[in-house]
Structure 1
């Protein structure tokens, strides 16, 4: 008979729940400590294409990056972590929703009655005419539905959902960081592999020159114009150059296996067809984003900010535990001794609010709040450290890019000068003015300059790749 009164009170309780405050600090995104510009670098309009490697205009690299994006295991694991974070977010949101459970049961029970007759005789003054049984057996059938809803008066559930949403954003940013790292590693491995193959080609030419020098030394020794020491020196150099080829083959094979795994293949698979390679092209001008753009797009900064947001929201969750909790509970139940008795008149109902208030917890709640505040301060320090590291990495990458470009230009000019010298020496040799050894020495010096240029070009490409990574893609 109290159900109508409860029904009238229920809207008031719902209104109180909806009007409830949200305890805890509100999150304000921190202002990242970054310079106005990067080491005086003039900002260039950054491309909106996330496929930054396309600026190198290399179809083979484009294909490798596409394969890595679709089949790399690190990227797949990062995506799965996003899925798990979204599931946890759903759990956090569901915690504040009403909970309804149904139950049904059957039991065979026995109720002991021994001694009850003597009690009734004494209390009621009744003399039993028969001997009562010592127990009664009966069946019990039960069907019911229970519901409960904790009113989020203080915003604890809302703060928990807020923290879960921030964790999802942090996980998504971390996944973008993993993808960026894989993309950079694919490009770096590809550039290094091509550089090792070019060095091997030059080393083979070096071996050919050294072999001719050794043949000349043998001929001179046979004529008495050279000593065994001269021959030994040329043969020692020939062996060293052949050893360099062995090392280059080993490095190239290891790099190719690493690249194959990065793009989702097996270690023994070829990541690409060498016949499709094109000559290297000039390096593109890297679009240097403004520091404010980097703060919004660099994955580790975005992740650190989201972690800080989650830690701030958790303070509100801990503070809400200090306040009373009001829950609405309801129960509808039918318990009968026989299936034939099932019906509306056999129902039992219960509905109403319940209040729980923390009075003494041995300091557990305060320690929990202190811990959440400490975690929030740690997250703020981690965010600051992440921004400073990003600043340093961008400046380092810019310095490395400029230095690599300058060294590449110097190596390019040195190679041009060496090749001009080779042309002049070969012309003199063709006229019969000089013997063959000076020609071989000039060719060897030109090959050394070409090898230096190959290494500088690889270093310049890797510096550009690192700059893209430092800028967040």
Structure 2
């Protein structure tokens, strides 16, 4: 084993065989998506991942920034990426040469009298006339051991490939978590603003109801109304106060949810609502081409990476059918006395070892069959993910368009109601009509304004969902 020519031949053979990698090579599948989304005009994807900036709301921008840096779900997803990268490092290290340093001290005793008498001379001990029942001696050892399994068939390389794909899948999951948190922050923020607007409208409704109650009391005093009329108005007034209490409760609950989303505590100080500026008109979402959605939507990227990992695992299973060659070496020094420690006390061992599976009861074949089944399952999961993405984008587009149309209708209705209020106020100012028709017109305008507020919240949420469906 010390022939240099033999070692060179072994190394050349190892290098030649190391280029062989069994198992199928992964080819990214084609995402079955439509050429365009429902006849929309596609645009190139923006390089800015901060999709929420299209709403042009500084408060929302600040909330999203806080959530990105302090949200606990995002932090946990990032930690899972760290764990996946560690596992990838372990997979890569499995195919590298291993080197171990060993050192030890043992107090030995040979207890059989016959053997002890023989070993006295071997151990350098002074013989005695009486055969000993045992011999005690010290043994000091220092050594270095090395081993390397030559990756002839690419099993370790396939394992590292699978680990890399798992890292990519974990990173995609983290992006999905981040996108989900970003969308939830935007949704919760718009819902909170809607609740505040509803409370303002409800408070205006209370003022109108109180005016109606005052008029009813005057009419009752003049005999022009009945106590039943006044009781009905008072009942409506109590209902409006109850609505305000419920809106305050919903707003407080929504504020606490928003505080948790941005990494705070439920009692984190809220932002000042007086600093809020009127909500800008909703922008038209930039609908990216389907091929870009397939490359950027986190769940599709994750499904492709899972398929890649499953494909690589087939190669790992196939490599177990082939011979394994390992190079091992050992250098150690064993002495009975520290004074004898030196180069002449060395022991060495070096050479290759070969292992070939002969019979495993079908375990290796079953393992390969299992890996192939897992690869087929991953391929089906990828196809299902793409189809779900297609459906979600189409649903989000339909919802966004419908909400935009409804918002336009409600805005026109509110404008019409406001014009009616202006005309009725002019007639009331001239003394042509009593106050009751004016109050009724104002109440109708408030109802229209409430419908507009709720519809704008719905449109904002549909816009957020469209961004989420498109992958940000």
TM interval, short-chain normalised: over 0.9
Contact 1:265–1:271, Cα closer than 8 Å, also in 2: no
- 1:423 is aligned to 422
- 1:411 is aligned to 410
- 1:52 is aligned to 51
- 1:135-173 superposed Cα distances (whole Å, 9 cap, x missing partner): 111110011110000000010000000000001111111
- 2:339 is aligned to 340
Q: What secondary structure sits across from 1:301 in the alignment?
A: helix
Hey, what's the Cα distance between the residues in 1 that align with 2:10 and 2:270? 65
Structure 1 residues 196 and 118: CA distance shift in structure 2, 3 A: closer
- 1:15 is aligned to 12
- 1:312 is aligned to 311
Hey, what's the Cα distance between the residues in 1 that align with 2:31 and 2:317? 28
Contact 1:96–1:152, Cα closer than 8 Å, also in 2: yes
Give ranges in structure 2 of 5+ residues lacking alignment.
120-126
Give ranges in structure 1 of 5+ residues lacking alignment.
121-127
- Higher mean C-alpha displacement, 453-462 vs 39-48: 39-48
Hey, what's the Cα distance between the residues in 2 that align with 1:12 and 1:466? 64
Contact 2:94–2:156, Cα closer than 8 Å, also in 1: yes
- 1:275-323 superposed Cα distances (whole Å, 9 cap, x missing partner): 3211111111211000001001111100110010001001111111111
How far is 1:44 from its partner? 2.9
- Higher mean C-alpha displacement, 264-273 vs 76-85: 264-273
Hey, what's the Cα distance between the residues in 1 that align with 2:142 and 2:116? 33
- 1:159 is aligned to 158
- 1:325-370 superposed Cα distances (whole Å, 9 cap, x missing partner): 1100000011111001111111110000001111111221111111
Contact 1:96–1:157, Cα closer than 8 Å, also in 2: yes
Contact 1:425–1:438, Cα closer than 8 Å, also in 2: yes
Instruction: Map residues 378-417 of structure 1 onto 2, 5 A cutoff.
Output: 378-417=377-416
- 1:101 is aligned to 100
Hey, what's the Cα distance between the residues in 2 that align with 1:416 and 1:77? 48
- Which runs of 4 or more aligned residues in structure 1 lie more than 6 Å from their structure 2 counterparts after TM superposition? 117-120
How far is 1:433 from its partner? 1.2
- TM-score, structure 1 normalization: 0.95
Hey, what's the Cα distance between the residues in 1 that align with 2:249 and 2:377? 45
- 1:123 is aligned to none
Contact 1:263–1:271, Cα closer than 8 Å, also in 2: no
Structure 1 residues 413 and 362: CA distance shift in structure 2, 3 A: same
Q: What secondary structure sits across from 1:188 in the alignment?
A: helix
Hey, what's the Cα distance between the residues in 2 that align with 1:229 and 1:32? 68
How far is 1:224 from its partner? 2.2
Contact 1:106–1:139, Cα closer than 8 Å, also in 2: yes
Instruction: Map residues 438-449 of structure 1 onto 2, 5 A cutoff.
Output: 438-449=437-448
Number of equivalenced pairs: 463
How far is 1:228 from its partner? 2.1
Contact 1:64–1:263, Cα closer than 8 Å, also in 2: yes
Contact 2:84–2:170, Cα closer than 8 Å, also in 1: yes
Contact 1:16–1:153, Cα closer than 8 Å, also in 2: no
How far is 1:17 from its partner? 2.7
Q: What secondary structure sits across from 2:106 in the alignment?
A: strand
- TM-score, structure 2 normalization: 0.95
Q: What secondary structure sits across from 1:241 in the alignment?
A: helix
Structure 1 residues 110 and 450: CA distance shift in structure 2, 3 A: same
Structure 1 residues 228 and 378: CA distance shift in structure 2, 3 A: same
Contact 2:117–2:131, Cα closer than 8 Å, also in 1: no
Contact 2:34–2:290, Cα closer than 8 Å, also in 1: yes
Matched, 1:211 2:210: yes
Q: What secondary structure sits across from 1:19 in the alignment?
A: helix
Hey, what's the Cα distance between the residues in 1 that align with 2:357 and 2:50? 55
Hey, what's the Cα distance between the residues in 2 that align with 1:231 and 1:137? 112
Q: What secondary structure sits across from 2:265 in the alignment?
A: coil
- 2:145 is aligned to 146
Matched, 1:266 2:265: yes
- 1:80 is aligned to 79
- 2:295 is aligned to 296
Hey, what's the Cα distance between the residues in 2 that align with 1:116 and 1:397? 87
How far is 1:412 from its partner? 0.4
- Higher mean C-alpha displacement, 217-226 vs 186-195: 217-226
Hey, what's the Cα distance between the residues in 1 that align with 2:44 and 2:366? 50
